[in-house]
Amino acid sequence: MKQSIPKRPAMKEWHVVGFTIFLLLVFAVILSAQATGVGQDFSADQFFDLWAKMANPDWSYIPDILTPLVQTIQMAIVGTLIGCVAAIPVALVSASNIVRNPYVRGIVRFIMNLVRSIPEMLLAALFVAVVGIGALSGVCALSVFSFGMMFKLLYEAIETVDEGPIEAMRAAGGNRNQVIVFAVIPQVLNQYLSFFLYTLEINVRASAVLGYLGAGGIGLYLNTTLEMFRYDRTSVVILGILVVVVLVDALSNKLREALS
């Protein structure tokens, strides 16, 4: 007997299913908003009044934010560099094709998963409390965040490299360090640089916000202008952050395309 081939659902049935899912999502959003009280204190007049005040930027404030904008970029670069360099040996220890002992890999991965679970905002608040207000706390927070992020990306890249060069080095009598230098690093170098640029993009955005918590950079000026109700200056700060983020993203994309 020939088995009957199940018919594909008609287009009309797919529309019904899609519309049903959409209604369920809308219902879930409404129910969640009511349960959490989102939107109850929203004032349309206050919202448009704020935008009206920000629509007339105080352009004379631009010279005051140039130095903190540069400091924000410096924080992102230094934090990314420290974190990404520190992640290299830890990622090598966590890779199954480098370290055969599953207990060592498991312990390192567990510790690093704990580190990665801490968001950069919480890290900034902790370092501000320990180190104090300033760029140093921001650099420390970005370093730890970059460390955890690069660790995850790098050890997964190491585990997917071609095993041929690694086995050839081991067959020729090469030790673990020689295997890493001559068989692993050449295969993951471009990926590592791409991950570095990607992490830098994220850290430039994050560093602009971390200053809001006292971690230095342009975020400190954003907090100050908001507390002083100088929304005309707040808009200048926001525009400055936007320009920096767009430029860094464009440059990073160009460099990553060149590496691919």
Place of tokens 């989102």: 38
Residue 47: what pLDDT?
Answer: 66
DSSP-assigned letters across all residues of the chain: -PPPPPPPPPHHHHHHHHHHHHHHHHHHHHHHHHHHTTTTT--HHHHHHHHHHHTS--GGGHHHHHHHHHHHHHHHHHHHHHHHHHHHHHHHHH-TTT---HHHHHHHHHHHHHHHTS-HHHHHHHHHHHH-SSHHHHHHHHHHHHHHHHHHHHHHHHHTS-HHHHHHHHHTT--HHHHIIIIIHHHHHHHHHHHHHHHHHHHHHHHHHHGGGTSSSHHHHHHHHHHTT-HHHHHHHHHHHHHHHHHHHHHHHHHHHHH-
Domain-embedded: residue 255: yes
**Domain range holding 80?**
58-259
Q: Is residue 249 part of a domain?
A: yes
Q: What is the pLDDT of residue 42?
A: 58
Judge whether 101 lies within some domain.
yes
Total domains in the fold of the chain: 1
Taking all residues of the chain, what is their mean pLDDT, rounded to a whole number? 82
User: pTM value?
Assistant: 0.77
Residue 183 inside a domain? The answer is: yes
User: Which of the four pLDDT bands, split at 50, 70 and 90, describes residue 43?
Assistant: low
pLDDT digits (tens, 9 = 90+) for 88-143: 999 888 888 888 888 888 898 888 888 888 888 888 888 888 888 888 888 888 99
- Give per-residue pLDDT as tens, 14-28: 667 777 888 888 888
pLDDT at residue 239 greater than cutoff 70: yes
What is the pLDDT averaged over residues 62-83? 89
* Range name among 36-45, 130-139, 140-149 with the lowest pLDDT average: 36-45
Q: What is the mean pLDDT of residues 151-178?
A: 84
| Residue 115's CATH number | 1.10.3720.10
The answer to whether position 50 is within a domain reads no
Lowest mean pLDDT among 2-11, 118-127, 251-260: 2-11
How many whole angstroms separate alpha carbon 227 and alpha carbon 127?
23
What confidence score (pLDDT) does residue 82 get?
93
**Long-range CB contacts (< 8 A, 24+ apart) of 125-128?**
125/213, 127/215, 128/213, 128/214, 128/215
Would you say residue 15 lies in a domain? no
CA 195 remoteness from chain centre: 11
Per-residue model confidence (pLDDT) at position 45:
65
pLDDT: is 170 or 88 the higher one? Answer: 88
For residue 40, being part of any structural domain is answered with no
Section 235-239 average pLDDT: 88
What mean pLDDT comes out for the span 232-254?
Answer: 87
Is the pLDDT at 216 greater than 80? The verdict is no
Q: Is residue 30 part of a domain?
A: no
Using only C-alpha atoms, the chain has a radius of gyration, in whole angstroms, of 25
The mean-pLDDT minimum among 8-12, 61-65, 182-186 falls in 8-12
pLDDT over 90 at 81, yes or no: yes
